[in-house]
C-alpha cells in the first residue's frame, strides 16, 4: 500500500514500506511547509525556486537522505549545506532507482514570474511498489505525461507560472489516471473546479482534493482492484 | 263596484352589495323603509299603531309597536330601519380568463406580454330566492386593452356591446327561483408592457317584487270614522229589546274585531255581559252591523258597550338590489434572460472547461410557476452531466426537483447537443418566482479542440408560464446567438532535415528535428520522410522513436506519429540508413491538427 501524505502547496511524501520520498518541500512567504525534522530517504525538488527547494537541504541533512534535482537545483541545495555525497543530479529521461522505487525525470518547464522566461522543472514518473505516480511539480507543460500509464497524477492548478485548472483537467482527460490530485492552487475555487471538471469530463479519473496533513492510501487489492481511501 | 280601499303597509328594502376582484362578497348593506299609506279619499285614520311583535328581531327596530299617530287623507307615515343579512338574494360571479382557448379547472389570470391573449369573460347571475327576480340590468366595462369584443353566448335576455362607451349591457331577462343565467364575452387582449391591467368593473341592478330581506310581518291598529250606538226599545210591558248598532262611515274597509254590551241591573250589582261577539267581519263603507238581546226591566235598561275595530291593512313589499364588483387586476407575465460563458472565449485546438451561466428573470408583474430553458450546444463541446448542474432560485441554491434532458444522451464532443432544463409546480413547492426574482442555472462544458475558422453558436430559448398554464412567455436568442469565442493560436510545426554520411560505406545518418514553434499544442502530429530505392532503414536514435516503415513504389516511407506536442516541444531523431547509390533528398512531410 502506498501512502501519499500532503503537506500543502506542492509538498508531498510518498511512503511505501520503509521508503519515504519527499517531493518539493518548498518555502512560501518564508515559511517551510515541511518540518525540518521530517524523516525521508529521498528528497526531490523539481526546480530551483524557493517554493520547490525550501528547506530540502536541512531535511536531507537531518535525515541523511539523498537529494535529487537537476543541476541548478543540486547546486542550490549544495550551497545551502547539503552534503555533496548525498546529492544526485537527475538527467532527463534517465531513471534513478533504489529498492521498490524507480524515478524517471522529464524535462518540463515553469514560467519564472519574477525574472520572466522559463526555468526548467522536472516532471517525475515514479514507479513505487506496484503504483505508478505522475508528479508534475511546478510545470506549465505536460510533456510526455499524457502517454503514461498512471495510477495517480499530481498536477498544479494555480495558474501562477504553472498549469491553470483547465490544463490540469485537460491532462487528466487525456492521460486518464485513476486518481487526479490537484496542488498549488491560488484560490480555493481552483481545486473545487478541478474536482468538478474531472468528475464530469475525466472519463474514469477520480478527483481527490487533499487538505494539508491528509493521507491518501492507494493499493491494488488482490492485484487487480484499485482502491483508495482518504484519511 | 267601487274600489275596496285598505290602508297600505309598504316594505321597501334595498341591498347594496360590493364584490371584490374575484367576485368574493366584501360587504352587503341592507336597509328598509316601512310606510303606512292612508289611501282614503275622505277619512283620516288616527291612533295608528304598527304592530311588529317578534318579527322585528332581524332589524334594528327597537319596539314591538310603532306609534304612527294620525295620518290624514292620502297621507303617509314612514320609518327607516336596517336589516342584518349575510348574503344578497342575487349572487354574481365573473370569470375573467386570459386564455380561454385552453381549458383548465381554474381560469388563467395574467396576460402574457406581446402576445394575443384569447380572453374569455363569463358572467353568471344566480337567483338565490324562492321568487322571481326581474328588471335585471348588468353593465360590464370593457378595458382598452381588449379588442375584437364579441358576445359569444347569452343564456337569456339581450346582451350588446357599445363601442362608444365600451360597455356590455345585458338586460331584459328574468331569473326563476334558484336558477341562473350567464353571458360569455370573448376578446383579444394585447399588452406591450408589464404594468398590471384593469379588467373592467361590473354594475348590476335588479328588483324582486314580493321579496323582503327582513322577516317583518307588520299589522295595524287604528281608528277611523265609525259610528256605534245602543238602541233600547220596549217590545212588551217591561220587556226591552236592546240593539248594538255599528256603521262604517269611512271609505276604507274596516274590520270589526270585538263587540261587547254590558247591562247594569236595576237593583244594582255587577254588570252583566249581554253581547259577546268577535265578528271579525270586514265592513264595506257605509255597511252596518247589529246585534241585540232582550231583557225584562221596569225601567229603561242601562247598557254600555266595548268595541274593537280597525281599518283593514294590506302589505306590499319588494327588494331593490345594486351590486358593484371591483375590477380585477390582471398582471402581466414576461421574462428576460442572460447567458454568459466564462471564459467567453477559448484557445483554438485546446481543451478548456467553460462555465455556462443562464439566468432567467421575471421582469413582469405576475408570479411564475414554471420555467423551461432550451440550450443548444454546438459540436466540439463536451456537454455536462446532470449531477453537475447547479440551480438557484431567488439567489438561493435550489435542491427541489427539476427536469434535465439532453439529446443525444451522451457526452460525445463531436455532436451538437440540445439540453432542456425545466422546473415546474413552484406554486406548490418553494413558491412562485415573483416579479424581480430569477431562476439561474450553471453548468460546465468542455470546449474540445475548437477550430478558429469555425463558429460555435449556442442559441437559447427560455419560456415561462403561470399556474394554470396558458400561452407561454418566450424569449429567445437568434439562431446563431451566443457564440463561444475561439482565440486563434498560431500553429507552427517545424521540420528540419540533414543528411550526413555515416561511418561505413553506403551508410547515411538522416537527422530530423521536429519542433512545435507555435502558440498552441499540436495533436495527432504525423511526420513522414522518404528513403530512396536502394536504401534500407537500419536504426533510430533514440530507439523508442523508431518509425513505421512502409514500402512505396520508389523506395520506402518512414512515418512517425505523436499524439501531442506542446508549444516549445522539440524532437531530434537520428535515422541510420544503408544502401547503394545516390541518396536523393526530399523534404519531410508533416501534418497535425
Q: Which residues contact A12 (CB under 8 A, 6 or more apart)?
A: A4, A5, A6, A22, A23, A24, A135, A154, A183
Nearest to B444 among A170, A173, A196 (CB): A196
Residue of A nearest to B446 (CA): A201
Average pLDDT over residues A81-92: 93
Is the domain of B342 the same as that of B465? yes
Q: Shortest CA distance to B411 belongs to which of B435, B437, B374, B446?
A: B446
Nearest CB neighbour to B563, from listed A141, A146, A170: A146
| CATH code, B258 | 2.60.40.730
Each residue of B82-132: pLDDT tens digit? Answer: 999 999 999 999 999 999 999 999 999 999 999 999 999 999 999 999 999
* CA angle centred on A58, ends A54 and A59, rounded to 5°: 90
Of A141, A170, A193, the CB nearest to B351: A170
Residues B177 and B237 in one domain: no
Q: b/e per residue, B147-162, with b = 16+ CB within 10 A?
A: eebeeeebebbebebe
**Would you call A146 an interface residue with chain B, using a CB distance cutoff of 8 Å?**
yes
- Convert the pLDDT of each residue in B143-152 to its tens digit: 999 999 999 9
- CATH number of the domain to which A144 belongs: 3.60.15.10
CB contact under 8 A, A173 and B350: no
Q: Is A125 left (phi over 0), alpha (psi -120 to 50) or beta?
A: beta
The answer on B398 and B531 residing in a single domain is: no
Contact (CB<8Å) B564/A142: yes
Q: Do B566 and A174 touch (CB under 8 A)?
A: no
Residue of B351, B563, B569 with shortest CB distance to A173: B351
Contact B92, B139 (CB under 8 A): no
- Report chain A residues whose CB lies below 8 A from the CB of B382: 201
Q: Could you tell me if B553 and B449 lie in one domain?
A: no
Q: Which residue of B has its CA nearest to A170?
A: B351
Nearest to B566 among A141, A166, A193 (CB): A141
B385 contacts on A by Cβ (under 8 Å): 199-200
B99 and B168 belong to one structural domain: yes
Would you say residue B33 lies in a domain?
no
List CB contacts (< 8 A) between A170 and chain B.
350-352
Contact A173 B385 (CB under 8 A): no
* pLDDT at position B593: 60
* Cβ neighbours of B260 (radius 10 Å): 17
Which residues have C-beta within 8 Å of that of residue B382, sequence separation ≥ 6? A201, B411, B412, B413, B445, B446, B448
Please state, in angstroms and rounded to a whole number, the distance separating the CA atoms of residues B229 and B215. Answer: 40
Number of domains composing chain B: 4
Compute CA A130 distance to the chain's CA centroid, rounded to the nearest angstrom.
18
Q: What are the chain B neighbours of A197 within 8 Å (beta carbons)?
A: 353, 444, 446
Query: What local confidence, expressed as pLDDT, does residue B400 receive?
Result: 87
pLDDT digits (tens, 9 = 90+) for B411-454: 999 999 999 999 999 998 889 999 999 999 999 999 998 988 89
Please tell me whether the interface predicted TM-score (ipTM) of this complex is above 0.90: no
Chain A residues near residue B384 by CB distance under 8 angstroms: 200
Considering only CB atoms, which chain B residues are within 8 Å of A173? 351, 446
CA distance B385 to chain A (A): 6
- Cβ of residue A187 closer than 8 Å to a chain B Cβ: no
- Measured between alpha carbons, how far is A134 from A125 in angstroms, rounded to an integer? 5
d(CA B402, CA A144): 43
A188: left (phi over 0), alpha (psi -120 to 50) or beta: alpha
Q: Is the pLDDT of residue B2 over 70?
A: no
Number of DSSP helices (H) and strands (E) in chain A, helices first:
5, 17
Tell me the chain A residues in contact with residue B525 when contact means C-beta distances shorter than 8 Å. none
Domain that holds residue A53: 2-230
CB contact under 8 A, B382 and A174: no
* B413 domain residue, yes or no: yes
Any domain includes B41: no
Examine residue B318 and state whether it is found in any structural domain, yes or no.
Answer: no
Q: Give the mutation candidate from B383, B566, B570, B571 for the A interface (greatest A CB count, under 10 A).
A: B566
What pLDDT digit, counting tens, does each position of B525-551 carry? 889 999 999 999 999 988 888 999 999
Quick one: B402 and B510 in the same domain?
A: no
What is the mean pLDDT of the segment spanning A13-25? 96
Number of domains in chain A: 1
A24 vs B: CB within 8 A? no
Residue range B254-283: mean pLDDT, rounded: 91
Residues B291 and B343 in one domain: no
Task: Give the whole-number percent of chain B exceeding pLDDT 70.
Answer: 99
Which residues in chain B have their CB less than 8 angstroms from residue A190's CB? none
Look at B353 and A169 and tell me if their CB atoms are within 8 Å: yes
> Which residues of chain A are within 8 Å of residue B381 when distances are taken between CB atoms?
none
- Output the domain CATH number for residue B518: 2.60.40.1170
Task: State the average pLDDT for chain B.
Answer: 93
Residue B239 lies in a domain: yes
Q: Does any domain span residue B570?
A: yes
Cβ–Cβ contact A199 with B under 8 A: yes
Q: What is the mean pLDDT of residues A195-208?
A: 94
| B267 and B377 together in one domain | no
B519–chain A nearest CA distance, Å: 12
Pairwise CB contact (< 8 Å): B444 & A141? no
Q: What are phi and psi of A52, to 5 degrees?
A: -110, -45
Q: Residue B563: list chain A partners with CB under 8 A.
A: 146-147, 174
Q: Is residue B327 part of a domain?
A: no
**Distance (Å, rounded) from C-alpha B146 to C-alpha B118?**
10
User: In terms of domains, do B500 and B483 share one?
Assistant: no
Q: B165 lies in a domain?
A: yes
Is A185 in contact with A159 (CB distance < 8 Å)? Answer: no
B→A interface, C-beta within 8 Å: 350-353, 382, 384-385, 388, 411, 444, 446, 563-564, 566, 568-569
Beta-carbon separation of B384 and A200 below 8 A = yes
Question: Which domain range does residue B431 map to?
Answer: 334-487
Same domain, B353 and B407: yes
What's residue B562's pLDDT?
A: 85
Q: Where are the beta strands (DSSP E) in B20-75?
A: 25-37, 45-51, 65-71
Provide the percentage of residues in chain A whose pLDDT is more than 70. 100
Same domain, residue pair B338 and B443: yes
The pLDDT of residue B248 is 96
Residues B377 and B467 in one domain: yes
**CB count, 10 Å around CB of A48?**
19
pLDDT > 80? residue B563: no
Grid coordinates given for B290:
247589529
In angstroms, the Cα distances linking A74 to A49, A79, B63 are 11, 9, 118
List the single best residue of A200, A203, A204, A207 to mutate versus B (max B Cβ within 10 A): A200
Predicted confidence band at B1 (pLDDT cuts at 50, 70, 90)?
Answer: very low
Q: How far apart are CA A6 and CA B552, in angstroms?
A: 55
Q: What are the CA-CA distances from residue A151 to residues A92, A161, A195, B179 (Å)?
A: 22, 26, 17, 83
Find the CB nearest B385 among A146, A193, A200. Answer: A200
From chain B, the residues in CB contact with A119 under 8 A are none
Q: What is the pLDDT of residues B341-397, one digit of tens each?
A: 999 999 888 899 999 999 999 999 999 999 999 999 999 999 998 888 999 999 999
- Would you state the torsion angle of the CA atoms of residues A46, A52, A54, A59, taken in this order, to the nearest 10 degrees? -40
CB contact under 8 A, B351 and A166: yes
Identity of the residue in A142, A173, A200 whose CB atom sits nearest the CB atom of B566: A142
Closest residue in B to A198 (Cα) is B353
Amino acid at each position: 500500500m502506498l501512502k501519499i501524505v500532503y503537506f500543502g502547496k506542492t509538498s508531498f511524501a510518498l511512503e511505501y514500506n520503509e521508503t519515504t520520498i519527499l517531493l518539493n518541500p518548498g518555502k512560501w512567504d518564508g515559511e517551510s511547509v515541511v518540518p525540518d525534522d521530517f524523516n525521508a530517504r529521498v528528497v526531490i525538488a523539481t526546480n530551483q525556486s524557493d517554493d520547490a527547494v525550501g528547506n530540502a537541504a536541512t531535511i536531507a541533512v537531518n535525515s541523511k537522505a539523498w537529494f535529487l534535482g537537476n543541476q541548478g537545483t543540486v547546486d542550490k541545495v549544495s550551497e545551502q549545506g547539503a552534503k555533496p555525497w548525498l546529492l544526485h543530479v537527475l538527467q532527463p529521461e534517465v531513471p534513478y532507482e533504489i529498492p521498490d522505487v524507480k524515478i524517471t525525470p522529464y524535462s518540463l518547464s515553469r514560467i519564472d514570474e519574477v525574472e520572466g522566461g522559463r526555468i526548467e522543472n522536472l516532471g517525475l514518473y515514479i514507479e513505487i511498489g506496484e503504483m505508478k505516480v505522475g508528479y508534475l511539480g511546478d510545470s506549465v507543460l505536460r510533456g510526455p505525461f499524457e502517454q503514461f500509464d498512471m495510477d495517480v497524477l499530481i498536477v498544479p492548478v494555480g495558474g501562477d507560472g504553472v498549469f491553470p485548472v483547465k490544463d490540469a483537467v485537460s491532462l487528466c482527460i487525456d492521460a486518464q489516471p485513476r486518481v487526479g490530485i490537484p496542488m498549488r492552487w491560488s484560490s480555493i475555487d481552483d481545486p473545487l473546479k478541478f474536482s468538478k471538471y474531472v468528475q464530469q469530463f475525466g472519463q474514469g479519473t477520480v478527483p481527490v482534493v487533499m487538505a494539508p496533513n491528509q493521507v491518501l492510501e492507494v493499493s491494488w487489492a488482490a492485484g487487480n482492484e484499485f482502491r483508495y481511501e482518504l484519511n | 263596484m267601487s274600489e275596496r280601499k285598505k290602508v297600505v303597509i309598504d316594505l321597501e328594502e334595498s341591498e347594496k352589495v360590493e364584490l371584490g376582484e374575484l367576485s368574493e362578497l366584501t360587504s352587503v348593506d341592507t336597509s328598509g323603509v316601512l310606510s303606512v299609506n292612508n289611501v282614503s279619499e275622505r277619512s283620516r285614520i288616527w291612533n295608528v299603531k304598527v304592530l311588529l311583535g317578534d318579527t322585528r328581531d332581524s332589524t334594528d327596530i327597537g319596539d314591538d309597536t310603532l306609534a304612527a299617530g294620525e295620518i290624514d287623507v292620502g297621507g303617509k307615515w314612514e320609518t327607516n330601519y336596517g336589516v342584518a343579512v349575510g348574503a344578497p338574494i342575487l349572487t354574481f360571479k365573473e370569470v375573467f380568463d386570459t386564455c380561454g382557448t385552453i381549458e383548465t379547472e381554474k381560469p388563467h389570470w395574467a396576460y402574457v406580454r406581446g402576445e394575443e391573449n384569447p380572453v374569455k369573460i363569463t358572467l353568471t347571475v344566480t337567483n338565490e330566492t324562492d321568487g322571481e327576480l326581474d328588471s335585471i340590468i348588468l353593465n360590464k366595462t370593457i378595458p382598452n386593452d381588449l379588442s375584437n369584443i364579441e358576445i359569444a353566448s347569452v343564456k337569456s335576455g339581450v346582451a350588446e356591446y357599445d363601442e362608444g362607451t365600451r360597455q356590455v349591457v345585458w338586460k331584459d331577462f328574468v331569473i326563476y327561483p334558484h336558477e341562473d343565467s350567464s353571458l360569455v364575452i370573448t376578446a383579444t387582449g394585447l399588452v406591450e408592457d408589464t404594468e398590471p391591467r384593469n379588467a373592467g368593473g361590473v354594475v348590476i341592478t335588479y328588483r324582486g317584487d314580493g321579496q323582503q330581506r327582513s322577516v317583518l310581518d307588520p299589522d295595524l291598529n287604528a281608528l277611523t270614522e265609525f259610528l256605534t250606538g245602543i238602541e233600547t226599545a220596549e217590545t212588551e210591558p217591561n220587556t226591552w229589546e236592546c240593539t248594538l248598532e255599528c256603521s262604517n262611515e269611512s271609505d276604507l274597509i274596516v274590520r270589526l274585531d270585538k263587540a261587547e254590551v254590558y247591562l247594569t241591573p236595576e237593583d244594582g250589582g255587577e254588570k252583566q255581559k249581554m253581547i259577546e261577539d268577535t265578528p271579525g267581519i270586514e265592513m264595506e263603507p257605509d255597511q252596518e252591523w247589529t246585534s241585540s238581546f232582550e231583557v225584562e226591566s221596569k225601567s229603561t235598561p242601562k247598557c254600555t258597550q266595548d268595541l274593537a275595530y280597525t281599518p283593514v291593512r294590506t302589505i306590499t313589499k319588494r327588494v331593490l338590489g345594486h351590486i358593484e364588483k371591483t375590477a380585477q387586476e390582471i398582471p402581466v407575465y414576461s421574462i428576460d434572460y442572460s447567458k454568459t460563458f466564462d471564459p467567453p472565449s477559448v484557445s483554438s485546438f485546446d481543451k478548456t472547461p467553460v462555465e455556462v451561466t443562464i439566468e432567467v428573470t421575471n421582469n413582469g408583474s405576475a408570479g411564475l410557476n414554471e420555467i423551461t430553458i432550451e440550450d443548444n450546444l454546438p459540436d466540439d463541446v463536451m456537454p455536462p452531466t446532470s449531477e453537475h448542474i447547479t440551480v438557484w432560485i431567488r439567489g438561493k441554491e435550489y435542491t427541489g426537483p427539476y427536469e434535465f434532458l439532453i439529446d443525444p444522451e451522451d457526452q460525445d464532443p463531436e455532436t451538437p447537443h440540445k439540453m432542456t432544463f425545466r422546473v415546474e409546480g413552484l406554486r406548490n413547492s418553494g413558491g412562485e418566482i415573483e416579479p424581480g426574482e430569477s431562476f439561474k442555472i450553471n453548468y460546465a462544458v468542455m470546449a474540445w479542440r475548437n477550430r478558429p475558422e469555425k463558429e460555435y453558436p449556442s442559441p437559447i430559448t427560455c419560456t415561462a408560464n403561470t399556474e394554470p398554464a396558458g400561452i407561454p412567455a418566450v424569449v429567445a436568442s437568434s439562431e446563431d446567438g451566443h457564440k463561444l469565442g475561439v482565440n486563434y493560436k498560431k500553429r507552427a510545426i517545424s521540420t528540419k532535415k540533414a543528411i550526413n554520411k555515416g561511418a561505413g560505406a553506403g551508410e547515411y545518418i538522416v537527422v530530423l528535428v521536429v519542433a512545435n514553434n507555435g502558440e498552441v499544442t499540436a495533436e495527432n502530429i504525423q511526420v513522414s520522410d522518404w528513403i530512396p530505392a536502394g536504401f534500407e532503414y537500419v536504426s533510430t536514435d533514440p530507439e523508442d522513436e523508431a518509425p513505421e516503415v512502409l514500402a512505396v513504389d520508389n523506395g520506402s516511407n518512414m512515418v512517425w506519429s505523436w499524439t501531442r506536442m506542446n508549444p516549445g516541444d522539440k524532437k531530434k531523431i537520428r535515422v541510420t540508413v544503408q544502401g547503394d547509390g545516390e541518396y536523393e533528398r526530399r523534404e519531410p512531410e508533416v501534418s497535425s491538427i
